[in-house]
Structure 1
Amino acid sequence: MEHDNGMKLRRNLEAQEALISKICRIAGAPGLSISVLHRGDEVYSHHVGHASVKDGKLLDGDTVYFIGSMTKAMVPALVGILVQDGTLDWKAPVAHILPELAHAFDGRGSEITLIDLMSHRIGMARADALWLQCAGNILLSKSEALDAWISQPTVRAFRADFLYSNFAFDTVGRIIEKSTGKTLGANLQEEIFGPLGMTRTSLNDEFSKDPNAAKAYFPLKDGTPVEVPVPTISDKTIMAASGGVRSCTNDLSRFYKNLMHAANDQFNHQRTSTPGSPFKQLSTIWGPHNQLPVHSMRETSYALAWARTQLPSPLGSFNYNKHLVPAMPVIGRGLPSRLVVYHGGSMQGFTSAVYLLPETETAVFALQNSSALCDACDWVPQMLVQTILSGSPHSDIDFVQLATVSVARGAKLADEVEEKLQRSREKGTNPRPLKEYVGRFWHRSKSFRIDVAVESDETLRMCFQGMPSETYCLRHLHHDVFVWNEPHDVNAKRGRFQTRPVESYGIRFGSTSQGGVIDRLYWLYDETHAEPGMFRREGGVQLAGDVDMPN
Structure 2
Amino acid sequence: MDAINTEIKGFDWESVRAQIGRIRQAFGASSVACGVLHRGKPAFHHAEGFADVRTQRVPDADTIYPIASCSKAFTSATCAILVDEGLLSWDRPVSSYLPEFQTVHNAEVSQRATLVDLCSHSTGLAPMDHAIIGFHDEYLNDGVDQVKISSNLPVLCDFRTAFVYNNFTYGVVGEVISRVCNKSIGSVMADKIFEPLGLLRTYVRTADYPPDGNVAKGYSVLDDGSFLAVGDPEIQDGSAHAGAGLVRSTVNDMLRWAKAVMQAEKQQELVTSSQDMPVKKPPLPGVAFTRSEQRCIISDPTEAEGENSYGLGWFRHTIPSQWLGSISPNFMLLPDPPVIGQHSPERLAISHYGAMGGFLSALYTFPETCSAVVVLANSSPSRGDPTDLIAQSLCQELFDMKPRVPLELFALRAAETSRLIWPALVHSWVLAREKTDMVPVLTDYIGTYRNSGLQLRIDVFESQRSSKCLGRQQHDPEPLSFTVNSHARQTAKLKHYQLDVWTFLPNSRDDASRKGMELYMALPLVLLSFVRDKTGQVRWLDWDLYGGGGQPELHDVYYIVDPVRFERVSSLV
Taking structure 2 as the reference length, the TM-score comes to 0.89
* Residue in structure 2 matching 1:509, options 530, 542, 559: 530
Indicate how the Cα distance of structure 1 residues 131 and 13 shifts in structure 2: closer, same or farther if over 3 A, else same. Answer: farther
1:18: Cα distance to partner?
1.1
Indicate how the Cα distance of structure 1 residues 429 and 523 shifts in structure 2: closer, same or farther if over 3 A, else same. Answer: farther
Encode CA deviations 1:260-291: one digit per residue, 9 max, x unaligned. 11112222442799757531113321111111
Q: For residue 369 of structure 2, what is the aligned residue in structure 1?
A: 360
SS at match of 1:199: coil
* Residue in structure 2 matching 1:419, options 404, 419, 427: 427
Between 212-221 and 233-242, report the one with greater CA deviation. Answer: 233-242
SS at match of 1:342: strand
Q: For residue 325 of structure 1, what is the aligned residue in structure 2?
A: 334
Q: For residue 486 of structure 2, what is the aligned residue in structure 1?
A: 466
Q: For residue 399 of structure 2, what is the aligned residue in structure 1?
A: 389
The 2-side partners of 1:237 and 1:473 are apart by 28
Encode CA deviations 1:489-518: one digit per residue, 9 max, x unaligned. 12222344347432222211011226x111
1:472: Cα distance to partner?
1.3
**Runs of at least 5 residues in structure 2 that lack an aligned partner in the other structure:** 467-478, 551-559
**Runs of at least 5 residues in structure 1 that lack an aligned partner in the other structure:** none
The 1-side partners of 2:209 and 2:460 are apart by 34
Between 102-111 and 414-423, report the one with greater CA deviation. Answer: 102-111
The 2-side partners of 1:14 and 1:207 are apart by 37
Between 376-385 and 143-152, report the one with greater CA deviation. Answer: 143-152
Encode CA deviations 1:26-61: one digit per residue, 9 max, x unaligned. 201011100111111110010011110010111011
The 2-side partners of 1:239 and 1:124 are apart by 15
SS at match of 2:219: strand
RMSD, matched Cα: 2.1
The 2-side partners of 1:224 and 1:200 are apart by 29
Q: Does 1:493 align with 2:514?
A: yes
Alignment of 1:283-294 (within 5 A): 283-293=288-298
Q: For residue 554 of structure 2, what is the aligned residue in structure 1?
A: none
Q: Is the 8 A contact 2:174 2:242 kept in 1?
A: yes
Q: For residue 141 of structure 2, what is the aligned residue in structure 1?
A: 140
Q: Is the 8 A contact 1:258 1:277 kept in 2?
A: no
Q: For residue 376 of structure 1, what is the aligned residue in structure 2?
A: 386
Q: For residue 115 of structure 2, what is the aligned residue in structure 1?
A: 114
SS at match of 1:445: coil
1:377: Cα distance to partner?
1.2
1:446: Cα distance to partner?
5.8
Q: Does 1:28 align with 2:59?
A: no
1:10: Cα distance to partner?
8.2
Q: What is the identity, as a one-letter code, of the residue corresponding to 2:293? A: P
The 2-side partners of 1:10 and 1:463 are apart by 56
Encode CA deviations 1:403-442: one digit per residue, 9 max, x unaligned. 1111111122122112111111222353521221111111
The 1-side partners of 2:99 and 2:169 are apart by 15
Q: Is the 8 A contact 2:463 2:493 kept in 1?
A: no
Between 103-112 and 272-281, report the one with greater CA deviation. Answer: 272-281
* Count of residues in correspondence between the two structures: 535
1:311: Cα distance to partner?
1.5
1:208: Cα distance to partner?
5.2
1:204: Cα distance to partner?
1.9
Q: Does 1:478 align with 2:494?
A: no
Q: For residue 566 of structure 2, what is the aligned residue in structure 1?
A: 535
Encode CA deviations 1:315-340: one digit per residue, 9 max, x unaligned. 11121001112211112101111111
Q: Is the 8 A contact 2:135 2:490 kept in 1?
A: yes
The 1-side partners of 2:72 and 2:153 are apart by 22
Q: Does 1:227 align with 2:235?
A: no
Q: Is the 8 A contact 2:105 2:154 kept in 1?
A: yes
SS at match of 1:270: helix
Q: Does 1:80 align with 2:88?
A: no
The 2-side partners of 1:536 and 1:21 are apart by 51
Between 370-379 and 129-138, report the one with greater CA deviation. Answer: 129-138
Q: Is the 8 A contact 2:186 2:204 kept in 1?
A: yes
Q: Is the 8 A contact 1:205 1:232 kept in 2?
A: no
Q: Does 1:340 align with 2:349?
A: yes
Q: For residue 267 of structure 1, what is the aligned residue in structure 2?
A: 269
Between 292-301 and 74-83, report the one with greater CA deviation. Answer: 292-301
Q: For residue 57 of structure 2, what is the aligned residue in structure 1?
A: 57
Between 188-197 and 284-293, report the one with greater CA deviation. Answer: 284-293
Encode CA deviations 1:153-172: one digit per residue, 9 max, x unaligned. 21112011111111100000
Q: For residue 181 of structure 2, what is the aligned residue in structure 1?
A: 180
Instruction: Give the % identical residues.
Output: 30
Indicate how the Cα distance of structure 1 residues 191 and 293 shifts in structure 2: closer, same or farther if over 3 A, else same. Answer: same
The 2-side partners of 1:176 and 1:429 are apart by 57
Q: For residue 432 of structure 1, what is the aligned residue in structure 2?
A: 440
SS at match of 2:541: strand
Q: What is the identity, as a one-letter code, of the residue corresponding to 2:34? A: I
The 2-side partners of 1:451 and 1:171 are apart by 28
The 1-side partners of 2:80 and 2:305 are apart by 31
The 2-side partners of 1:446 and 1:66 are apart by 27
1:209: Cα distance to partner?
7.4
Q: Is the 8 A contact 1:52 1:215 kept in 2?
A: yes
The 2-side partners of 1:182 and 1:280 are apart by 21
Q: What is the identity, as a one-letter code, of the residue corresponding to 1:82? A: L
The 1-side partners of 2:13 and 2:439 are apart by 60
Q: Is the 8 A contact 2:153 2:454 kept in 1?
A: no
Encode CA deviations 1:93-123: one digit per residue, 9 max, x unaligned. 1211100124645211121100000000001
The 1-side partners of 2:200 and 2:166 are apart by 29
Q: What is the identity, as a one-letter code, of the residue corresponding to 2:284? A: F
Indicate how the Cα distance of structure 1 residues 102 and 520 shifts in structure 2: closer, same or farther if over 3 A, else same. Answer: closer
The 1-side partners of 2:145 and 2:439 are apart by 34
Q: Is the 8 A contact 2:203 2:209 kept in 1?
A: no
Q: Is the 8 A contact 1:512 1:519 kept in 2?
A: yes
The 2-side partners of 1:72 and 1:157 are apart by 23
SS at match of 1:179: helix
Taking structure 1 as the reference length, the TM-score comes to 0.93
Indicate how the Cα distance of structure 1 residues 327 and 103 shifts in structure 2: closer, same or farther if over 3 A, else same. Answer: closer
Q: For residue 132 of structure 2, what is the aligned residue in structure 1?
A: 131
Q: For residue 237 of structure 1, what is the aligned residue in structure 2?
A: 239
Q: For residue 280 of structure 1, what is the aligned residue in structure 2?
A: 285
Encode CA deviations 1:375-395: one digit per residue, 9 max, x unaligned. 111110011112222258xx5
SS at match of 1:17: helix
* Residue in structure 1 matching 2:248, options 246, 249, 268: 246
Q: Is the 8 A contact 1:429 1:478 kept in 2?
A: no
The 1-side partners of 2:19 and 2:288 are apart by 37
Q: Is the 8 A contact 1:442 1:449 kept in 2?
A: yes
The 2-side partners of 1:488 and 1:67 are apart by 26
SS at match of 1:317: coil
Q: Is the 8 A contact 1:413 1:499 kept in 2?
A: no
Between 200-209 and 31-40, report the one with greater CA deviation. Answer: 200-209
Between 349-358 and 142-151, report the one with greater CA deviation. Answer: 142-151
1:223: Cα distance to partner?
2.2
Q: Is the 8 A contact 2:201 2:253 kept in 1?
A: yes
1:293: Cα distance to partner?
2.4
